[in-house]
Amino acid sequence: FEGVFVNQGKNSLTDGVINRSKRMMLDTLGVGLLGTRTAVFNKALKYSQLFTSRERSSVWGQSDIILPPHYAAFVNGIAVHSMDFDDTWHPATHPSGAVLPALLALAETLPSQPSGLDLLLAFNVGIEVQGRLMRFSKEAYNIPERFHPPSVVGVMGSAAASAKLLGLSPEQCIHALAIAASSAGAPLANAATQTKPLHIGNAARRGLEAARLAQIGLKGNPAILDLDRGLGVYYKDYSPSAMADSAVRAYKWILEDQDVAFKRIPAHLGMHWVVDAALAAREKLQNAVGKFDLSQIRHVTLRVPPSKYVNCPLPATEHQARHSFQFNACTALLDNKVTVASFGDAQIGRSALKELLGKVSLETPEDNLPSFDKMYCEVEIATHQGPSYTARCDTFYGHWRKPLTLKHLVDKFSVNASSVLCTEGVEGVIDVIGNIERVADCSILGSYLRMTSNQEHLDRMRIL
C-alpha cells in the first residue's frame, strides 16, 4: 500500500485525474468559504482560538485569524461540511473535505513551499486511498447505517495525503495510516445534527496529526489494513487487497473511472433526486392545468430508498432539514427551487410549508436500493380535481453520471466564495486552481483565501 503513494511521481497523474481533482478542489474551497458563516463553524472557531502555536495556518475567509495547523484543518474542514454542500463519491463518502483542509494547513508550515503539482499529487493520494479502502467492503457501497464514512476513510485519506506532502518514507507512511486508524469511526447518529460537520473537521485534523506523529517516529501496527481487528472493525464484511505495484508505469487512479458528484443544493445527496423529481412533477401539473396552486394538492407521495436518517417528516433544525426527503420535496413544490436560502429558520418555519408537509407520505419500493449509484426518487402529486402527476428522477444534474458543466461548477464557486471574499480573491482562487499544476509556490492560494471583502469585515459576526 505504502509503496504506491510514496513512489507516485508527478507524471503518474493523468489528464483526466488532474481535471477532475481540480474541480473537486475548487468546489471544496467554495463550499468551505460559504461555510465559514455558519453557527457550527463559529463555535468551532471560538473553541480553537483557545490554542496558540508557533506554527500558523490560515482560516479560510478570515483575513487575520491564524490557528495552529491542526486546528486550522479542523475548522476549515468543518466549514466544508457545515452545510452538507460538499462533494460525494461512490462508494459513499465526502472525500475532499477530509483532505484539502489538512493539506493547505500543512503546506503553510513547511519550510519550503510546495508547488501546485506537489499539492495536487498529495491531494490525489488522499482521495485514492479513500477509494481503495472503501472497496474492501461490500457494506461500503450502500448508504451507511453504522459509521459515518468520512470518519472512517476520511481520516485515512488525510493521513495519506499529509504523509505524501511531508515526504515520509514508506515505513513512516504505514505508521501514519496505523495511527490514523485509531482516530477513525464516528457513529451515524450524529448525522443530521450540528456535530456532523465535525466528522470531516476531525478527519482532516487527526489524519494530519497521525502523519506528524509518524514523522517523529511513533509506530502503530504495520498490518493495520490487513487485520479484521484493524481497519476491519468498522465493517461487517472486510476483504482487503494489496494495491497494484507502483513500479508499473501507468497507475490506474480510481478517480479516472469513477467521478464525484457535486451538489447544487446544500443538503444530503439523496435530496437531489427528490428535488429534481418534485420540480418535474410540478412542471407537469403546471403544464396540464395552466398554473400551479398549492390548494390543488391533495396528497404527495414520495418513493425513495430506505434510509432512516434522511427520513424526517417535520424537521426542526437546518441540520434536520438538510436530511429530509419530505422537506426538500415540499420546498421544491412550494418555491420551484431549493437553494442555500431554503434552510434558514424562517424558511423552515413557514406555515405553508408545514401544511404541505402534512400531506406527504413516504414509500420505499423494493426496487429502490439504498445506494447512491442505483437509487431513484419518484414524486406523485395527487390533486383534488382528480388527476395525479408523477415524475421520476434516476440521475440528478450534478451526479457522476451527469456531471456539472465547468461553467456551472465555476458559477457555484463564485456565488459561494463571493459571500466572503472580494472579487480579486474569488478570481484569484479560480485562476490558481485552474492552473495549479503550473503554479510554482502554492502559498499564493492561501493569500487569496484571506482576501475578504469590505462588507465581510463589517459582517464578521453574522451567523447563518
Partner 1 sequence: MPHTPPSSRIPAIFKRPLKAIRPVWAARAMHKSAVEVLKQPVPEDTVTASFGKFISELKPQHLSPVVLHRSKRMVLDSIGVGLIGSTTDVFELALQHCQNMYAPGDTSSVYGHRGIRLSPILAAFVNGVATHSMDFDDTWHPATHPSGAVLPAVLALSDMMPANNKPSGLDFLLAFNVGIEIQGRLLRFSNEAHNIPKRFHPPSVVGTMGSAAACARLLSLDPIQSSHALAIAASLAGAPMANAATQSKPLHIGNASRLGLEAALLASRGLEASPLVLDAVAGVAGFSAFYEDYVPQPLQSPGNDSHMFLLEEQDIGFKRFPAHLGMHWVADAAASVHKILVGVGPGTVSPAQVEDILLRVPKSKYINRPFPESDHEARHSFQFNACTALLDGEVTVQSFTPAAMSRPDLHALLSRVRLEHPNDNPANFNRMYGEVQLTLVGGDTVKGRCNTFYGHWRNPLSNDSLRKKFRSNAEVVLPSEKVERLIEVVEDLDQLRDCRNLLSQLQ
**How far is Cα 259 from Cα 256, in angstroms, rounded to an integer?**
7
**How far is Cα 408 from Cα 398, in angstroms, rounded to an integer?**
10
**Whose Cβ is closer to partner 1: residue 192's or residue 439's?**
192
In the complex, the smallest distance separating the C-beta of residue 323 from partner 1, rounded to whole angstroms, is: 10
In the complex, the smallest distance separating the C-beta of residue 90 from partner 1, rounded to whole angstroms, is: 21
In the complex, the smallest distance separating the C-beta of residue 258 from partner 1, rounded to whole angstroms, is: 26
DSSP letter at 88 equals: B
Q: How many CA atoms lie within 13 A of 119 on its CB side?
A: 32
In the complex, the smallest distance separating the C-beta of residue 304 from partner 1, rounded to whole angstroms, is: 10
**Whose Cβ is closer to partner 1: residue 170's or residue 306's?**
306
* Residue type at 177 in one-letter notation: L
**Whose Cβ is closer to partner 1: residue 369's or residue 415's?**
369
Element (H, E) at 347: helix 345-348
Q: Cite the DSSP H helix spans in 238-344.
A: 254-257, 269-289, 318-321, 325-335
**How far is Cα 74 from Cα 50, in angstroms, rounded to an integer?**
13
In the complex, the smallest distance separating the C-beta of residue 222 from partner 1, rounded to whole angstroms, is: 8
**Whose Cβ is closer to partner 1: residue 146's or residue 408's?**
146
**How far is Cα 419 from Cα 460, in angstroms, rounded to an integer?**
11
* Residue type at 83 in one-letter notation: M
In the complex, the smallest distance separating the C-beta of residue 403 from partner 1, rounded to whole angstroms, is: 30
* Buried-state track 304-327, b at ≥16 Cβ within 10 A, e below 16: bbbbebbbbeebeebbbbbbbbbb
Q: Return the closest-CA partner of residue 44 out of 81, 65, 69, 74.
A: 74
**Whose Cβ is closer to partner 1: residue 309's or residue 448's?**
309
**How far is Cα 219 from Cα 352, in angstroms, rounded to an integer?**
58
**How far is Cα 28 from Cα 264, in angstroms, rounded to an integer?**
13
**Whose Cβ is closer to partner 1: residue 457's or residue 462's?**
462
Are 42 and 281 within 8 A, CB to CB?
A: no
In the complex, the smallest distance separating the C-beta of residue 151 from partner 1, rounded to whole angstroms, is: 7
Cell numbers at residue 60, please? 479560510
| Residue found under cell 461548477 | 409
**Whose Cβ is closer to partner 1: residue 217's or residue 290's?**
217
**Whose Cβ is closer to partner 1: residue 10's or residue 219's?**
219
In the complex, the smallest distance separating the C-beta of residue 428 from partner 1, rounded to whole angstroms, is: 29
**How far is Cα 377 from Cα 320, in angstroms, rounded to an integer?**
19
In the complex, the smallest distance separating the C-beta of residue 445 from partner 1, rounded to whole angstroms, is: 22
Cell numbers at residue 409, please? 461548477
**Whose Cβ is closer to partner 1: residue 186's or residue 285's?**
186
Are 327 and 358 within 8 A, CB to CB?
A: no
**Whose Cβ is closer to partner 1: residue 126's or residue 315's?**
315
- What residues are paired with 389 via a beta bridge? 381
**Whose Cβ is closer to partner 1: residue 261's or residue 304's?**
304
In the complex, the smallest distance separating the C-beta of residue 22 from partner 1, rounded to whole angstroms, is: 30
Are 106 and 69 within 8 A, CB to CB?
A: yes
Cell numbers at residue 378, please? 419518484
In the complex, the smallest distance separating the C-beta of residue 52 from partner 1, rounded to whole angstroms, is: 5
* Buried-state track 246-255, b at ≥16 Cβ within 10 A, e below 16: beeeebebbb
